[in-house]
Amino acid sequence: MIRPEDIERFYQEHLPGAIREKGVLKAPCPFCPPDEQKARGTLVVYLEPKSFFHGYFRCLRRCSPGGFLLHFARMIGLDLREVPGYDPDRELPSSHIVYPGKNLNNDIKKFRKLMGDREYAYFNNFNVSKATVEEMKIGYNGRYLVYPYFLEDGNCYAARCVMPERDEDQFWHGDKSFFSPEHRIFNMQEIQRCEDGALFLVDGENNLLSLKELGYPAIAVPGFNNLEALDPDLLTYVSHVFLLMNHTPEAQLAARSLASGLGYKTRILKWSPELKRGYTLCHLAREKGKNFRTAVSAMIRSSQSFSPFSSAQREHLRFIQQLDRERGRRLLGLSTGFEKMDEALSGIQGINILGGQPKAGKSCFFLQISTEVVRKGIPVIYYDFENGRHKIYTRILCRLSRLAEENLRRLDLPKEDLDRLQRTTDLFREMLHYFRVVTDRKLSPDTMRRQIDFIKHETGQDKVLVVVDSLHKLPFKNLSERRTGIDEWLRHMEAVRDEQDVGFLVISELSRSTEGRYDEKPDLGSFKESGDIEYSADNALILVPGWDPLDPFSGGERKSTLWLVASRENSPGKVGDYLLDYPYWGFKEE
């Protein structure tokens, strides 16, 4: 930790004629080029001890980029050993880039000459001056604004061209090798200039410009989706990183993901909840005008060091609220609609995995539970990789209307049945507000998290039931490593369960015996290709048919037995017997 008095003494020693005014040291800028017509600019150094930017210097004429102590020492050619806090063993992180011989430097100069009053007026709309635009070497190619992405060696190899007021209309210009996400850091040289200091990271070049107008050091990515490719090691020696993303849940999630890699030196600046989705720094600059600096300062002061842990106050509040919700309830979880199953599980909570042989009715069983949950106003996301949306809707309509599937297509349906079908169709339309079927074969855990947030927002409910049909057909990165992929998905479900208060119903396949049959004795070893079910499932269940599901001519009573083979909170054993309610795609609990 560098002492504030050592920083002030360092600048006083190397800035002859410096004068301290309150928390700012002022001196003639030693970096301004000599000009007989103009006096040198003023170099200011911020020396407020409690500020994150204590020791940051910059020239008010913007002759050269500002920075902290080590950057100042390098610019004046000082022996770095004289700098307070210098570590001779420190090795700056290297991006290991092989720089090509050709660059865009001359193109950037040409584009800068094409900037006119109309282009500068565009930036002035969000209070960014011509001087700031020129400092960042932004140009114009006749149609698009050109944002140059200079790299550590001081050269530009790629530039992003954006249509003013139409951010979606954009393209990259230059060397294709430098279009990839890991190179998309605007103003990258700022990182080394802020060694042992503080730095903003924002999404969008214009948001960076609004901060540079205030004199803050900053880097930017084109959009929050580029944060995933940003190497945290590049920011190893920056002491404080302020993440200020646009006001969207996706951007905040990406910021938290990066902050997890950067650690406690990161502070995620938060927007007021009542602001509209997509609100940006540029909006804030336009809205606040002269008070923009005050607004940004307030966001900095209210920020906290990132922690993956909830605060003690929040944890206590959540626990007390949960106790209040549970008081007087017969079931801790969501009711399944089956009395014996509710009694055995105390309702649906946590991760519930159901195994069974093919055609045993697993999908039908969970679909019935899903519709009963939906009818109580609890949202359900049904991830289907087995049946398809049309088949799922048809089966729901059959069960609720008590009409066989072929009767739904009849033109001569009796009036009584027709009226019942109409009432059920109206009910089904209302249910769809709470019931979402997702068949995305590229589903990822992050997408699942966002969809849960969306349905909570759309329905105004805190509880959500997620159904996965089935575990073995979830998308995996590598199909040859299906077991590893299944275990990884189970771990993600555990995280979603804990973070978002979600109940899971998950269908799983069972393993065959050596004779090709399914074991008669249900236990954890019956589940296929997943050792983690034993550790991840709150309840593991197996549905055992007392008839041959693969025999199309199997007649008589079609009864299945549901077994609870493992549970964290409940006693394993037989749950109950269930009769297939043919042809209405449902079960009746005996």
Biggest alpha carbon distance in the chain? Answer: 105
Residue 452 near residue 500, CB atoms below 8 Å: yes
What is the pLDDT, as a whole number, of residue 314? 77
- Does 40 have pLDDT greater than 90? no
> Quick one: average pLDDT of 299-310?
88
What is the pLDDT, as a whole number, of residue 34? 79
Residue 510 is classified by DSSP as: B
Report the sign of the C-alpha dihedral through residues 511, 514, 519, 524, in that order: negative
| HSE-CB for 429 with a 13 A CA cutoff | 5
> Quick one: average pLDDT of 200-224?
96
The structure's pTM equals 0.63
Return the higher-pLDDT residue of 518 and 495.
495
Residue 203 near residue 251, CB atoms below 8 Å: yes
> Quick one: average pLDDT of 527-552?
82
- pLDDT tens for 163-194 read 998 888 999 999 999 999 889 999 999 999 99
Residue 473 is classified by DSSP as: G
What does each C-alpha distance from 504 to 171, 362, 479 come to in angstroms? 42, 14, 24
Q: Rounded distance, CA 512 to CA 489, Å?
A: 23
Shortest CA distance to 428 belongs to which of 411, 465, 403, 461? Answer: 403
Question: How do 464-469 and 380-384 pair as beta strands?
Answer: parallel
- pLDDT tens for 388-418 read 999 999 999 999 999 999 999 888 999 999 9
> Quick one: average pLDDT of 190-202?
96
Q: Rounded distance, CA 58 to CA 29, Å?
A: 9
What is the pLDDT, as a whole number, of residue 258? 94
- Scanning 263-414, the segments in alpha helix (DSSP H) are 281-288, 292-302, 312-326, 339-345, 362-375, 389-401
- Does 553 have pLDDT greater than 60? no
| Residues facing 25 on adjacent strands | 20, 45
Mean pLDDT of the residues in the chain: 90
Type of residue numbered 71: H
Shortest CA distance to 271 belongs to which of 263, 262, 280? Answer: 280
Q: Kindly state the tokens that stand for 55.
A: 């020791």
Q: Rounded distance, CA 441 to CA 475, Å?
A: 6
What is the pLDDT, as a whole number, of residue 520? 63
- Does 387 have pLDDT greater than 60? yes
Shortest CA distance to 233 belongs to which of 258, 198, 202? Answer: 258
Q: Rounded distance, CA 345 to CA 9, Å?
A: 69
Q: How far is CA 566 from the centre of its chain?
A: 33
Which residues, 6+ apart, have CB-to-CB distance to 523 below 8 Å? 565
**178-207 in b/e burial notation, b at 16+ Cβ within 10 A?**
bbeeebbbbbbbbbbbbbbbbbbbbbbbbb
Q: Rounded distance, CA 352 to CA 505, Å?
A: 5
CB atoms inside a 10 Å sphere around CB 36: 5
All domains of the chain in start order, with CATH: 4-82 (3.90.580.10), 110-302 (3.40.1360.10), 339-589 (3.40.50.300)
Measured at the alpha carbon of residue 149, what is the angle toward residues 146 and 152, in degrees to the nearest 5?
155
Q: Band the pLDDT of 94: cuts 50, 70, 90.
A: low
Burial class (CB in 10 A: 0-12, 13-18, 19+), 476: middle
> Quick one: average pLDDT of 28-50?
87
Q: Rounded distance, CA 359 to CA 534, Å?
A: 24
Q: Rounded distance, CA 337 to CA 589, Å?
A: 9
- Does 271 have pLDDT greater than 60? yes
Report the sign of the C-alpha dihedral through residues 371, 377, 382, 388, in that order: positive
- Does 196 have pLDDT greater than 80? yes
Q: Band the pLDDT of 475: cuts 50, 70, 90.
A: confident
Point out the least confidently predicted range of 306-315, 402-411, 489-498.
306-315
Report the sign of the C-alpha dihedral through residues 276, 281, 283, 284, in that order: positive
| Residues recorded for the chain | 590
Residue 170 near residue 162, CB atoms below 8 Å: yes
Point out the least confidently predicted range of 78-82, 207-211, 233-237, 319-323.
319-323
Q: Band the pLDDT of 324: cuts 50, 70, 90.
A: confident
What is the pLDDT, as a whole number, of residue 354? 94
